[in-house]
A and B are shown apart, each in its own frame.
Chain A
Amino acid sequence: MASQPMPDLSPQVSDEVRKTTCYMCACRCGINVHMKAGKVAYIEGNRDHPVNKGVLCAKGSAGIMQHLSPARLRAPLKRVGPRGSGQFEEISWEEALQTATDWLAPLRATAPEKLAFFTGRDQSQSFTGWWAQAFGTPNWAAHGGFCSVNMAAAGIYTMGGAFWEFGQPDWDRTKLFLLFGVAEDHDSNPIKMGLGKLKARGARVIGVNPIRSGYNAVADDWVGITPGTDGLFILSLAHELLRAGKIDLGYLIRYTNAPYLVNAQDGPDKGLFLRGEDGKPLVRDRRTGQAVAWDSPEIAPDLANGVEIGGVTHLPVFRHLADRYLAPEYAPDAVAARCGIPAARIRAIAAEIARVAFEEEITINQPWTDFRGQKHDSMIGRPVAMHAMRGVSAHSNGFQTARALHMLQILIGSVETPGGFRFKPPYPKPPEAHPRPHAGHKPGQPLDGPHLGYPLGPEHLLIQDDNTPKRIDKAFSWEAPLSAHGLMHMVISNAHAGDPYPVDTLFLYMANMAWNSSMNTSAVMEMLTDQNPDGSYKIPRIIYSDAYSSEMVAFADLILPDTTYLERHDCISLLDRPICEAEALADSIRWPVVAPDRDVRPFQSVLLDLGARLGLPGMVREDGQPKFKDYADYITNHERRPGVGPLAGFRGEDGTGKGRGAPNPGQIEAYIQNGGFWLDHIPPEAQFFKPWNAAYQDWAVARGLYDSPQPYVFNLYVEPLRKFQLAAEGHGHRQPPDHLRERLIQTMNPLPIWYPTFTDAETDPAEYPLHALTQRPMAHYHSWGSQNAWLRQLHGHTPLYVSGDIWAQHGFSEGDWATLTSPHGRITLPVVRMDALNPQTVWTWNAIAKRRGAWALGEEAPEATRSSLLNHLIHELLPPKGDGLRWANSDPITGQAAWYDLRVRIEKAPAGQSVSYPAHPAQASPLPKAPRDLAHQVKG
């Protein structure tokens, strides 16, 4: 074989590796960026990073093509054509910033609420919220309201944390894993890594999803549930477990409010906890039969029997719970048809949960001490873990469904135990430890507190005396009392309607609200361009910041172009949306591994510049000069509380502070030297039982997560919900409007309930027999992937997937198109057969469809010609009820956008259909035409 060629087997891969944080989705993995001749040549996962431990998904590996995307904006832009046309001229940064200052300064001086500042997939919310608070507008939030606030709020109220950023399955120990709904891009790599671990040791995975794609394809058992019925299925599992007594009574007594006595006296206290004079909830001590404070030492709390006071019986929470879920309406046979799951299968899954939880118990020989001072020899776990995200969240019954899921985990005693679900610091954190929402605004003054928080009763709503919402999105009003993330999806609609009041300037960041991030997309585009009789726009001014030429760009008056994620500083902060692990505190940075080659600036630095020009408190020194040079300066030197800042690592003058410590001028450099992140392990005795573990509580105080130990019990029964019901029943000073009383009473139940989604309840199933959903492709993140030459070859159009029954019934054949019609609109797109579906469900990919002219794509790109958004079928309001009121298509408790409530009918499109509908006219692109062919290779 003398002639065998000898290729170079050891080529130099790069000149240098720069370690930073990915931003191709919300997962925030660590990446190694290989540089050649000062250019980005190759991206791979960082093996040392806590989130991804070296692996990287398709999006992350395609980051180089995002960084080189022809859709990158190049300079600040001023609109010169009509809104929506996309006609702009490039202007200087000085002109752009002066324009914004001239628009905003008068608002701040006279009516700061006239600025509505909403940010999208923002990973700097603690910063943008701080800026908005300093400006003084109550109208700020990020995208959580149209994403997964049901999950987050239900988790916080129930147990002080939810899934993903709040906690994770104990992947190394769990023996049974249940995954509910679509979750592909929320904890993207960690879920895949976790599934891989489960598969490697043969643990069982059960997927509950109407569609068997992605993770559900590898699930050992697939439950093709009917959309919107997850809550009913979960409560039926609870029914079975209760019926068999397969619940962890010791756990319920020690760590939950199951023993709390509930006041049964008709009147303003009915359904509230029976409390002692010191305000502590009372439980019945089995030894004495007396009602005593819940945390009294040496008591045996009862779960079965109550106490009688003044002829009124006060029963423990657990009795209410058992009575409710043991009712025949939750029996598998009663729910099977509605859920689309055979009763025997529900029973089998309940039995498997019980078997694994109680017969495969895990014991870790690690002593620990609880907050009552009781010492435990070991840590005993119930190795059943669960995860859910948008699939469960994005329904109008999503809050209560997420509550039901958490209740199920708690009943079997699996939360914060080995093999179960584990919180990630700074969670657990109960609702009481979070702030309340604020909307107190005055001309020229900062807001009276943080915008978002967790109301504990009607007294915390943000409403005027006449019940008018104080916020433009009506968050924390009677329409959405616990809207902890705001309602970004209602801002444009409400601002256009002047309901509850008009705004002057809409300021958006990284949120494609003129396209895939809004319901009712076509109408939203009309709202953004709608004019008064005098020719002025109904929404007078729109400022937008984005790195790319998205659909929203065309609708702004002023564009502040952002950098790509490889050209900027960022902090993935504990104050924000953390990336911690169940076993460690962690945060990370982005830093400019390359300098921008365009006239663009990182948005956060621009916001600081704007804040200084506006003289906002905290952003200017006493001499009026800017306090921070740029965002990196803010990351290093800003202190939220003394010694606690955006980054927890390398604090203090000597750089050894963990969590607490003075600002360290070398902090960012220390992060870079450490691979872009910081990690601090939780001591072994503090790893589990965190809400009740004295060692964890002390460690959390030392790290600045709390200022004092905050042990608490889980809320199977959420008393604040009952307070809203009481108001609706006529008790208390703050009274809801009459038209909302019945809904508040029905939905704000303090124990989890299931009710049909509003769309299911109000839509004629004969006319609209099918559910329509989107799934999120693992290789894309929202609208971002289509500008990426590599990723768009994986998912470049949106076929409508239908079951074989529907295929046959409508006589479809290969190459046909289908029209979907909802009560609100219609779309037409190519149709494809797929049998691994719930028979009542059709689906397509989320956010692949694009408007012609956007994202620097050719106008004949399949994203525009063979694709459509389900958004066109989904109204932000429910159909009119004839009462003249605007009823949001949202969860009634949190305001979460109910994307997945959609019902449709399907028809075969006429022969000859070759272009998707609707086909909006092209927007002009402010960018040069993209190159035709790529053969990209960086020469060293």
Chain B
Amino acid sequence: MTSLPPPSARKLGLVIDLDTCVGCHACVISCKGWNTENYGAPLSDMDAYGASPEGTFLNRVHTFEVARDSAPPMVVHFPKSCLHCDNAPCVTVCPTGASYKRAEDGIVLVNESACIGCGLCAWACPYGAREMDSAAKVMKKCTLCVDRIYNDTLPEEDRTPACVRTCPAGARHFGDLGDPDSDVSQLVAARGGFDLMPEQGTAPVNKYLPPRGRDTLEIPDLASLCAPAPQAAPNAQPTGLLGWLDRALERL
């Protein structure tokens, strides 16, 4: 079993805006590309061109319908990756110490050279955020692009996770959720950001911003906006229009 470090002041993580995510999977594939080429073993794809392609992804987007009583159903796109929990059960369950949480920023990583591929961590994670790579036989998970965010060889503006850099709708934000004054903490406060499955006691660092209300357009009939209304009668007659036009053109 592996122990967690004392809680860090700095808690790096993601804020994902469910009001804005259009479900385009840009983050999924950008993550796949970066992490195939970087940290640890490549993300493999088994039966890549066959009947049952099955690849390793560190981030996936799920889509849900939300039924509502007196409004049309909502559709929510829900991107999900490791939430870098403060009380990460995937770490404490690890028999070799391969799974660990970094003391300095809270990022949860797998040391692949120590991973025996037992899969206990994936069973322990309530979010299903870890995937065993079938080719490398090691556990893969979101690294928060630890090899980007501190990478001296990248321009400063690119030191952000690949999924955040690529998100076309700007629905993904990266920052220090341990700092109440950070942009991401402010965003969480302003938009009512929430923890995923708080009842699990995992204390996730990543936060989700809820979808805003949908189908709320309820404003008075147009006529009430018009003063004076061009036509008294709802069924307009050209004569009514002509009078209004004359007056309106005169004012121009």
Contact = CB atoms under 8 A, between A and B. Distances in A.
Interface of A: 1, 3-5, 7-13, 36, 41-45, 47, 52, 54-62, 64, 70, 188-189, 192-193, 195-197, 199-200, 204, 206, 212-222, 224, 240-246, 249-250, 253, 286, 300, 302-305, 319, 322-323, 326, 328, 331, 345, 347-352, 354-355, 359, 778-779, 787, 789-794, 796, 834-836, 856-858, 860-862, 865, 930-938
Contacts of A196: 20, 168-171
B236 to A, nearest CB: 4
B26 interface: yes
Contact of A351 (B74, B211, B221, B241): B221
Given A4-B103, A5-B109, A214-B23, A243 B230 contact: yes
A245 B230 contact: yes
Given A3-B97, A45-B166, A249 B55 contact: no
Given A58-B28, A192-B24, A835 B166 contact: no
B29 A790 contact: yes
Contacts of A319: 238
Interface string B12-49: 00000101111111101110111011110111111111
A887 to B, nearest CB: 37
17 contacts: A10-B147, A36-B37, A61-B33, A206-B217, A218-B21, A222-B72, A244-B222, A245-B244, A249-B248, A253-B252, A300-B252, A303-B245, A835-B67, A836-B73, A860-B51, A934-B48, A936-B42
Given A57-B168, A249-B249, A302-B249, A326 B238 contact: yes
Interface stretch (B122-130, B149-157, B192-200): B149-157
Contacts of A193: 168-170
Contacts of A216: 75
Contacts of A70: 49
Given A220-B217, A244-B222, 15 more contacts: A1-B5, A7-B147, A12-B153, A44-B30, A56-B166, A57-B24, A216-B75, A218-B21, A218-B169, A241-B222, A242-B241, A245-B229, A323-B238, A778-B23, A836-B65
A829 B73 CA distance: 25
Given A1-B103, A196-B171, A244-B230, A62 B75 contact: no
A514 B215 CA distance: 42
B39 A7 contact: yes
A200 to B, nearest CB: 7
A195 B169 CA distance: 6
A348 B24 contact: no
A789 B49 CA distance: 6
B75 A836 contact: yes
A861 B43 CA distance: 21
Contacts of A44: 30, 33, 162, 165-166
Interface residues of B, number: 101
B246 interface: yes
A225 to B, nearest CB: 12
B36 A778 contact: no
Nearest to B18: A218
Interface string B52-77: 11110100000101010000111111
Contact of B167 (A55, A303, A349): A55
A217 B22 contact: yes
Given A8-B147, A213-B75, A217-B75, A857 B49 contact: yes
B185 interface: no
Contacts of B28: 58, 794
B115 to A, nearest CB: 11
A61 B222 contact: no
Contacts of B234: 243, 331
Given A212-B73, A778-B24, A9 B147 contact: yes
B70 to A, nearest CB: 12
The secondary structure that dominates the B interface is: loop
B102 to A, nearest CB: 7
Given A243-B231, A862-B51, A56 B30 contact: yes
A861 B51 contact: yes
Given A7-B146, A794-B25, A858 B170 contact: no
Contact of A199 (B23, B32, B154, B169): B169
A44 B38 CA distance: 14
B242 interface: yes
A195 B242 CA distance: 40
Nearest to A5: B111
B53 A244 contact: no
Contacts of A200: 20, 170
B136 interface: yes
Contacts of B236: 242-243, 326
Interface in B184-204: none
B223 interface: yes
Given A245-B248, A304-B249, A937 B37 contact: yes
Given A62-B33, A861-B49, A937-B42, A192 B22 contact: yes
Interface string B130-170: 00001110000000001100111110010000100111111
Contacts of A932: 46-50
B3 to A, nearest CB: 10
Given A221-B215, A322-B241, A43 B102 contact: no
B241 A55 contact: no
Nearest to B20: A199
B48 to A, nearest CB: 4
Contacts of B20: 195-196, 199-200, 218
A300 B249 contact: yes
Nearest to A940: B37
Contacts of B153: 10-13
Given A196-B170, A860-B50, A937-B37, A58 B151 contact: no
Contacts of B44: 933-935
Contact of B166 (A61, A224, A359, A787): A61
Contacts of A305: 242
A246 B49 contact: no
